Amino acid sequence: MLWLPHETLSGHDETAAQHRARPVAGDLAALRPLLWARLRGSHLPALIAGIGFIAAPGLLADAPWYLEWWQENPSGGPVQLLRDMDPASSAFYDYTHWDWYTGPSSGAERTICGPYVDYLCTDEYSLTLSVPVAAGGGFAGVAAADVFVRRFEGAVLPALREIPGPAFLVNAEGRVIASNTASWVAGSVYRGAEGFGVRRVGDLPLSLVTAAR
């Protein structure tokens, strides 16, 4: 696009130029092959149930509110999740209130929400993992993925079983995500207990709780 000095544009032309300079919803179609590949399991087999990009309000010129979100479909190709994005509608889906969005938008590098029952999408006990997306030096939105708790447990349980004694993973709020013991099942809350030690898991918002030796 040809750049013109600010003073050469009339009010109408300036608005049109700004509109063209901003991305539109159709531009996000370029993400689809990458998202679909992860849903089909070429990167993380049988783990991710939903994945996509959630735009910061006002990012897109033609869709002030928008999510490019795709879900697995056991009977066919990925299915796009469609929600009411009209703020005037009683069914308006204001995603900016959800923890998986407010975490990244407030500066968290990694956010893990759940376990929770995902009534909006799958009715499954789920986790949502999200990170901020930056563009032009500012916050542009959130990249996120949904993972069923049962799949997450299946992926990490072999490692937890190698730990002598009770061991389980908790999120930043102390809610158990996966465990090698029936005494601490997914969804229960750990607030500290005698005989246990806690250590962070790398730079993730997760901690490993193990019986003290």
Q: Give the CATH number, domain containing residue 114.
A: 3.30.450.20
Q: Are residues 65 and 110 in the same domain?
A: yes
Number of domains composing the chain: 2
User: Tell me, what DSSP letter sits at residue 172?
Assistant: T
- Do 200 and 103 fall within a single domain? no
Q: Would you call the peptide bond into 164 cis, given omega within 30 degrees of 0 as the criterion? A: no
Rounded to the nearest 10°, the torsion over CA 51, 57, 62, 63 is 50
Q: Are residues 26 and 47 in the same domain?
A: yes
- Residue 155 domain flag: no
Q: Which residues contact 34 (CB under 8 A, 6 or more apart)?
A: none
Any domain includes 86: yes
Which 3 state secondary structure label does DSSP give 207? strand
Does residue 199 contact residue 163 with C-beta atoms inside 8 Å?
no
Tell me which residue range forms the domain holding 85.
22-150
Position with higher pLDDT, 6 vs 209:
209
Task: Answer yes or no: is 171 within a domain.
Answer: yes
pTM: 0.85
Convert the pLDDT of each residue in 85-122 to its tens digit: 999 999 999 999 999 999 999 999 999 999 999 888 78
Structure tokens at 41: 């399991």
Q: How confident is the model at residue 2 (pLDDT cuts 50, 70, 90)?
A: very low
